[in-house]
Amino acid sequence: MSEKFANLLPRFLKYVKVETRSDPNSQTIPSSSKETAFLKQLQDELQSLGLTDVHLNPDNSYLVATIPSNVDAKVPVIGFLAHVDTADFNAVNVNPQVVKHYDGHSPIALGDGKYQLDPAEFPALKNYAGQTLVTTDGTTLLGADDKSGVAEIVTMAEYLMAHPEIKHGEIRIGLSPDEEIGTGADHFDTDDFAADFAYTVDGGPLGELEYETFNAAEAKLTIHGKNVHTGVAKGAMVNAIQVGIDYHNLLPEHDRAEKTEGREGFFHLYQFDGGVDQVTMTYLIRDHDRQKFESRKQLMQQLADQLNSQLDQPRIELNIKDQYYNMREVLDKHMEVVDLAKQAMEDLDIKPVIYPVRGGTDGSTISFMGLPTPNLFAGGENMHSRFEYVSVQTMKKALEVLLKIVQLNVTKNQ
């Protein structure tokens, strides 16, 4: 095995076994002490590799470190970012399986075989014939989202520190908590990170290069009903459940996550709690187009006002909170950052896969803070589930892309 790849898989397997699930109900930064413990382990590792200015920012719990420049010319400072937390799925006792020389067509038993990765259900498996896959044992997620990105960045740092003949400018590394609950990037400190542009290494399969995301908001409705005995309910009861159903049915029927694709936006009802007396409903609002996004928010308010006017008194409270915006608004003005990553992939015979992301990344928020930050592939498939897996060969390619980017940054700016 090439020296540059020697520690990539062992490092990744070590990382995924550490539980770092973020907690959406926590009010602390980070949301879980397990994230802090892991970040401190990574801090020790980066210091042992010889990186400088390695510190855990006390205000946002970002672990930041520097690979010093080894060229005389002044070149832009590049940042690479990945998140250490895992998603809302069981992450206790992750037991990764390494499947060598996968044949591309047979089902892969996960653990005791109760669950399996079957190409009939997951056709992307056919793309990995002959490769080494890391899967779960069926009881947990894997954590390739985003410990594959963390492992790739740390391995890049290790290789560059050991090979000063590879010329590069200053490189900043940022490893973050709480990406999966959407709060980590809210506290990002651009002054502390001090890069000119950056990349999140948090994408999926080979070649993904993402610079267009959703605009996103969360809408929470609280419906106050009036519960009386059903025998005397006529003209007196206000069933909050029924009001909630009526509200939902007024939204465009097609505009649901399960019925849309590409640049089609949606309203996604993902939580409905309560009873006759009170109901809470929580929606995701998504659209790539900012004007349509704003119209969606306005429609939800109009429908709440409409129903309130028909009830005996206003009973629907609506609170809408913006979460992030389409990073393309920023990156359209900084396409040289995207083009640098695109050239790096093409120089390595990797076809860039560019499409509008039906989601967001930390880069969505960070780009609007003044640091242009598109997203690069890290390798994971079927993320956030027991069916998650990653190709070791794709992880190696991701590492190669990071190394190529830092070298191109020098040659383009000499």
For residues 398, 88, 193, 186, the Cα torsion angle rounded to the nearest 10 degrees is 140
More reliable by pLDDT, 273 or 25: 273
C-beta of residue 15 within 8 angstroms of C-beta of residue 85: no
**Please, which pLDDT band fits residue 1 given cuts at 50, 70 and 90?**
low
Residue 54 has pLDDT above 80, yes or no: yes
Judging by beta carbons within 10 Å of its beta carbon (0-12, 13-18, 19+), is residue 157 exposed, middle or buried?
Answer: buried
Q: How far apart are CA 282 and CA 277, in angstroms?
A: 17
Q: What is the mean pLDDT of residues 117-128?
A: 97
Q: Say whether 347 counts as a known binding-site residue.
A: no
Q: Say whether 305 counts as a known binding-site residue.
A: no
Per-residue pLDDT of 92-103, as tens digits, reads: 999 999 999 999
Residue 2 has pLDDT above 80, yes or no: no
Is 179 catalytic? The answer is: yes
pLDDT at 9: 97
Catalytic choice (85, 178, 210, 362): 85
Beta strands in 208-315, from DSSP E residues, in sequence order? 209-210, 215-224, 266-274, 278-287
| Average pLDDT score over the chain | 96
pLDDT at 413: 83
The share of the chain scoring above pLDDT 90, in percent, equals: 94
Q: Say whether 121 counts as a known binding-site residue.
A: no
Lowest mean pLDDT among 86-90, 124-128, 279-283: 86-90
C-beta of residue 318 within 8 angstroms of C-beta of residue 219: yes
C-beta of residue 132 within 8 angstroms of C-beta of residue 153: no
More reliable by pLDDT, 4 or 65: 65
**Please, which pLDDT band fits residue 361 given cuts at 50, 70 and 90?**
confident
The share of the chain scoring above pLDDT 70, in percent, equals: 100
Per-residue pLDDT of 363-376, as tens digits, reads: 999 999 999 999 99
Per-residue pLDDT of 365-406, as tens digits, reads: 999 999 999 999 999 999 999 999 999 999 999 999 999 999
Per-residue pLDDT of 290-323, as tens digits, reads: 999 999 999 999 999 999 999 999 999 999 999 9
Per-residue pLDDT of 206-259, as tens digits, reads: 999 999 999 999 999 999 999 999 999 999 999 999 999 999 999 999 999 999
Q: Say whether 83 counts as a known binding-site residue.
A: yes
pTM of the model: 0.92
Q: Say whether 384 counts as a known binding-site residue.
A: yes
pLDDT at 188: 95
Q: What is the mean pLDDT of residues 165-175?
A: 97
Is 186 catalytic? The answer is: no
Residue 263 has pLDDT above 90, yes or no: yes
Residue of 33, 25, 28 whose CA lies nearest to 84: 33
Catalytic choice (35, 178, 179, 210): 179
